Amino acid sequence: MPTASGHAHGELRRETDMLDYFDTNPKPANLDRQITLARTFIEQHAKDGRRVALVTSGGTTVPLENQTVRFIDNFSAGTRGATSAEYFLQAGYAVIFLHRQFSLLPYSRHYSHSTNCFLDFMTHNGAGAVVVEHEYQHQMAEVLSRYREVKRNNTLLLLPFVTVNEYLWLLRGLAMQMQPLGAKGLFYLAAAVSDFFVPAERMVEHKIQSSEDFHEKAGHGDGERQPAAHMEDKRLVIDLDPVPKFLKMLVDRWAPRSMIISFKLETDPAMLAVKSRYALEKYSHHLVIGNKLNTRKWEVLFVTADGGERWIRVPAGRRTKGITGASGDAVEDAEQREPAVEIESIIVPEIAAMHTALINKWESDETRK
């Protein structure tokens, strides 16, 4: 069992690693512009007394070259984040949507290339104009109405990232801008963040050549490490460093009064509760949402700081299809099924209620001081 001094030493090392990261990895070129947009957005909604949720979504890439041709990626399309952002907006939040470029977005996700191609909903009328097919007009009008309301009230700010480096710089910068919100700030960390990366000082400048006739020969001496991605004989060798653990810094330094929710994805059901509880205790979050790869569309596990664990599930007959295409014990006959329920429509109201309790506690504590 780790000692108190060992735990403190580990915390100091993690903090040092995180600070070193920002000293040694370059600031994204458009960071200042994005932070300025966020500052203006946050100030508007703080003035109005509105809660602000930072929703992260999609996967981060790990470039192998400075002039990037090859990179490591993951399968995340941003479905959880884009869907949840809509329900946070519906619950009265302003939302900063920190998303992987070209991943799913709130509202337009309903008609993306991976779900419903919007061209399938269009037709020509008799006069040659393009119109929505009659059978889809009501559904599309509802989505359009919600989108226009969000635009009118300026309650959604879209900020893209691509690489894990861009994500980390943006997350830190946005967290610091959200500090004046106090307990009315909320972090919903649904992005699939890379666990490993290539440090800037170990990244090659140009495309790694696959042919032995053209790739650079390793000529590093005096203890200098080779580039993280390099050819050895006919093999591409990739030597990655771990991404510093930023979640504890988010709690302790960057956003100490905000509500923080993170996700834990597992494929082994036996590990889900254990790993979720471990993550919660290690990073001191308010809530960890555990989900299994093949059932994440209709069930998640809430693990809270007070020791509670409970499943949030969509009723069997109202489930959307999961990653495998199976829909569990849902009724398959489209004529008999009730409308499908997105699990995020259950998750977000539960979180909003927890957030209300946290805000009330914070305000009560402030009153007693």
Whether the model pTM is above 0.85: yes
Q: Which of 67, 65, 101 is nearest to 198 (CA)?
A: 65
Q: What are phi and psi of 308, to 5 degrees?
A: -80, 150
Say which residues have a Cβ less than 8 Å from residue 214's Cβ, sequence separation at least 6.
none
Other CB atoms within 10 Å distance of the CB of residue 242: 10
Helix axes 31-47, 164-178, angle to 10 degrees: 30
Give the C-alpha separation, 4 to 201, whole Å.
35
Say which residues have a Cβ less than 8 Å from residue 365's Cβ, sequence separation at least 6.
none
Q: What is the mean pLDDT of residues 251-269?
A: 95
pLDDT of 327: 43
Q: DSSP string of 157-189? A: EEEEE-BHHHHHHHHHHHHHHHGGGGGGEEEEE
Q: Which two tokens stand for residue 354?
A: 């927890």
Give the C-alpha separation, 219 to 226, whole Å.
8
Residue-wise pLDDT for 25-58, tens only, equals 999 999 999 999 999 999 999 999 999 999 999 9
Residue-wise pLDDT for 100-144, tens only, equals 999 999 999 999 866 788 889 999 998 989 999 999 999 999 999
Burial per residue of 34-45, b for 16 or more beta-carbon CB atoms within 10 angstroms, e otherwise = bbebbbebbebb
Residue-wise pLDDT for 205-245, tens only, equals 999 988 655 555 544 445 567 899 988 888 999 999 999 98
Q: Which of 160, 161, 163 is nearest to 70 (CA)?
A: 163
Give the C-alpha separation, 178 to 255, whole Å.
7
Residue-wise pLDDT for 328-339, tens only, equals 444 444 443 578
What are the CB-based long-range contacts (under 8 Å, 24+) for 163-166? 163/60, 163/61, 163/62, 163/63, 163/71, 164/60, 164/61, 164/62, 164/193, 164/194, 164/197, 164/243, 165/25, 165/26, 165/28, 165/197, 165/200, 166/28, 166/31, 166/60
Three-point CA angle 161, 347, 59, nearest 5°: 20
Q: Is 192 helix (H, G, I), strand (E, B) or coil?
A: strand
Q: To the nearest whole number, what is the mean pLDDT of the chain?
A: 89
Say which residues have a Cβ less than 8 Å from residue 337's Cβ, sequence separation at least 6.
317, 318, 330, 331
